[in-house]
A and B are shown apart, each in its own frame.
Chain A
Amino acid sequence: MKTLDARLFQVGFQAILLTLGVLLRDFSLLPAQMALAIASTTLTQAFWLKVFKLKDVGYLSPLITGFGLSLLLRADSFWLHPLIACLAISGKFLIRIRGKHVFNPANFGIGLALLILPGAWVSPGQWGNDLGIAVWLIALGALVVQKARRDDAAWLFLGTFLGLTATRLFYLGYSLDRGLEILTHQALNGALLLFAFFMISDPMTLPDRTAARRLHVVLVAIAAFTWQFLFYRPNGALWALLCLAPLVPLWDFLWPGKSHNWHGNKPLQNIVATQGKMPR
């Protein structure tokens, strides 16, 4: 188990969720959109690997990005998913500071789509409570299997965000049971859980030093909460992660640490750094 790449769990997890979602939940996602997204992330990855002559870098990452985009992004056309998938992966290769990519690819893609493209949206409420429960169960299961690895980010994020939500409910004067009902409802939001388990937990785009990583995750949670409950806008977590991503290089500069390494191979950024081929 030790040698298994943690991302295998992610891919499996995402595949199950997509299947459940499309079968049971009538996601307004067409199978073709999903196929196009995944094909596009994979091809784009292959293209850039070739351009930069990188080896030992696999295809799990584009798979995760493709699934992530399919799970969260909705579109009223067929061209949007592949276009965004291509931009998301290209962003990973091209937007780098000190060899490390700045944005989580799926997060970057979704942000771009919402900001500049017509006919793209995210449906944060589409999951329903029962699927939310399923996500918690699978996530807890994965946690047990993985024996709480270093990806504490998801839990720290959820703890902070839901803690703030609970505090707000208390402050607003809800009775205990009403407050719990609402908190449970929030905690079962599928989009929030996806974000926690697939986006913010991506160690490649978090600070290297443990303390800095925790600080950053807490900041993202606070920003997400503020966006959602003080400014009343949807998708707080996505925007918070996107907008705060440029801080990560700063944290890494202030508190250098050991880069995350997925599978014991030389991490991409080291290869890039030694070859000096990647734009900074």
Chain B
Amino acid sequence: MKKLLALGALTVTFSAAQAFCGFYVGKADANLFNEASQVIVVRDGDKTVVSMLNDYKGELKEFAVVVPVPSVLQKGQINVGDKKIFDRLDAYSAPRLAEYYDPNPCDRPKMEMMRKDIAMSAAPASAPPSARVLGVTVEASYTIGEYDIVILSATQSDGLETWLKQSGYRIPANSAKALTPYVRQNMKFFVAKVNLAEQAKTGFSMLRPLQFAYESEKFMLPIRLGMANANGPQDLIAYMLTKNGRVETSNYRTVKMPANMDLPVFLKQGDEFRNFYKGMFGEQAKKEGFRAVFTEYFWDMGWCDPCAADPLSPDELRKAGVFWVNNPNADASSPPPPGQGRIMPRPPMPGGGAQPAMLTRLHVRYTPETFPEDLMFQETKDRQNYQTRYVLRHPAKVEANACPEAKPYLESVAKRQEQEAQQLATLTGGDINAIRSKLKLPPAPAQKPWWDGMWK
């Protein structure tokens, strides 16, 4: 497996969309490359709002995306959203570190504990191509924000391919094949490209996420389409927002990331935690044979503990597509402004606590061989909170002879650090000795022969 992507700054977002929900269509031989895809899916009953963020890096004029959608979307069903919402969801649900400080063993009563959380996220990688068409009906066309959008229906994938070709898109040779099942299911195709004039007006240098609202009995994401050009595994992070419970895939295994263990404190420094999570995700995905979807977070959006970032406000939730949250005008009690807040457990939201949105963060690394079908989901009635949280315990600074308790304490710390190092090595498939040297632990702890001291 390839490396996970470079996590960017504090909040790394994986961008999503094209890679899985459709594919990039290049108009030239530009080197199109999808890193990780990010998508928000809001669903209640058949009502669905999908937001797709892409981190397309090529020439804007060559950007285009094809997404199968269940029906011809009206203009009002399409929106150009705000990337900040992805950043907020990412920061809120990212794997996190919690820090604790051991009390000084000589100072029992002062059992204060501190804790700090550091958010991070990781992202993944890569993807592909495009499609062309003909024998196709242009059902609608709109310019929304910086995008020129057409909604197509097609009776044959060959026709669709021909049409796209004639319209100047270059698509990979196997596009028609990849499109066929969607055509036969009578799905429509949402094709968007960048309107450069409009794009210049927006003043944004990057493309903003596209959002669609529609009704469909299918609770799924069409990841297969984005595999046409895949080389190597691709990553997708999906934020699923529902009313009642945790979301999982119904046609693949959904597993929780190993979490909540103690790890060496050096993870706090620099990019260590980021690298640790990247390494661990890669190792776990490999261990599952790239056949599993990982749950990284599941919590009621009303609160968190510890919070990697503030929960989304009703206004932000609406922007994310949570259509059942009340219109935010008229509320003086909206939650605190989104800061990189981090501190202790937050009480349920101010504002009545009525934040009936549950967030499930799913992260999947897939390959064409291991994910032969599109991802199908179901909302379960599971409401047990879950987060990928790792704990750092800072030993107290104390001299061995400071008090009678000090020596046994220091011994227990040494033992604990060794365990943490081993834990880390197991999770990431890393080199235990490298970890030991980082920790300044004695290299391989010399094992006493079993008989040593036997006759004393």
Given contacts A173-B181, A232-B376, 15 further A-B contacts (CB under 8 A): A76-B382, A119-B381, A121-B382, A123-B254, A124-B250, A124-B378, A125-B250, A125-B251, A128-B253, A128-B288, A173-B177, A173-B184, A178-B177, A182-B373, A234-B376
Residue A263 is within 8 A (CB to CB) of chain B in the complex: no
Pair B381/A128 contact, Cβ less than 8 Å = no
Residue B300 is within 8 A (CB to CB) of chain A in the complex: no
**Complex A-B: 6 CB contacts under 8 Å:** A121-B245, A121-B378, A128-B291, A173-B180, A185-B373, A232-B219
Interface bin, chain B: 20 to 34
Pair A232/B372 contact, Cβ less than 8 Å = no
Cβ contact of A172, chosen from B184, B249, B381, B384, cutoff 8 A: B184
Pair A231/B217 contact, Cβ less than 8 Å = yes
Binary flags per residue of B232-259, CB closer than 8 Å to A gives 1, else 0: 0000000000000100111111111000
Within the complex, the shortest CB–CB distance from B89 to chain A, in Å, comes to 24
How many residue pairs, one in A and one in B, have C-beta atoms under 8 Å apart? 81
Within the complex, the shortest CB–CB distance from A253 to chain B, in Å, comes to 35
Provided the pairs A125-B250, A231-B217 are in contact, do residues A185 and B372 lie with their beta carbons within 8 angstroms? Answer: yes
Residue of A nearest to B374 (CB): A182
Interface bin, chain A: 20 to 34
A16 to B254, CA, bound (A): 22
Binary flags per residue of A24-38, CB closer than 8 Å to B gives 1, else 0: 011000000000000
Binary flags per residue of A71-83, CB closer than 8 Å to B gives 1, else 0: 0001010000000
Residue A13 is within 8 A (CB to CB) of chain B in the complex: no
A23 to B143, CA, bound (A): 54
Residue B220 is within 8 A (CB to CB) of chain A in the complex: yes
Residue B185 is within 8 A (CB to CB) of chain A in the complex: yes
Cβ contact of A125, chosen from B180, B254, B372, B383, cutoff 8 A: B254
Most chain-A CB neighbours within 10 Å: which of B181, B292, B373? B181
Q: Which residues of B contact A117 (CB under 8 A)?
A: 381
Q: Which residues of B contact A124 (CB under 8 A)?
A: 250-251, 378
Provided the pairs A172-B184, A185-B373 are in contact, do residues A121 and B381 lie with their beta carbons within 8 angstroms? Answer: yes
Within 8 A of B (CB), among A120-136: 120-121, 123-129
A46 to B244, CA, bound (A): 37
Binary flags per residue of A232-255, CB closer than 8 Å to B gives 1, else 0: 111100000000000000000000
Pair B180/A174 contact, Cβ less than 8 Å = yes
Residue B313 is within 8 A (CB to CB) of chain A in the complex: no
A182 to B369, CA, bound (A): 10
Within the complex, the shortest CB–CB distance from A256 to chain B, in Å, comes to 40
- Nearest 9 Cβ contacts at the A-B interface: A121-B380, A173-B180, A181-B372, A172-B181, A234-B250, A232-B218, A234-B378, A76-B384, A128-B253
Q: Which residues of B contact A127 (CB under 8 A)?
A: 253
Residue B54 is within 8 A (CB to CB) of chain A in the complex: no
Pair A174/B181 contact, Cβ less than 8 Å = yes
Residue B157 is within 8 A (CB to CB) of chain A in the complex: yes
Pair B180/A233 contact, Cβ less than 8 Å = no
A79 to B340, CA, bound (A): 40
Within 8 A of B (CB), among A194-226: none
Provided the pairs A182-B372, A232-B376 are in contact, do residues A125 and B185 lie with their beta carbons within 8 angstroms? Answer: no
Q: Which residues of A contact B380 (CB under 8 A)?
A: 74, 121, 123
Q: Which residues of A contact B383 (CB under 8 A)?
A: 76, 118-119
Binary flags per residue of B148-170, CB closer than 8 Å to A gives 1, else 0: 00000000010000000000000
A162 to B185, CA, bound (A): 19
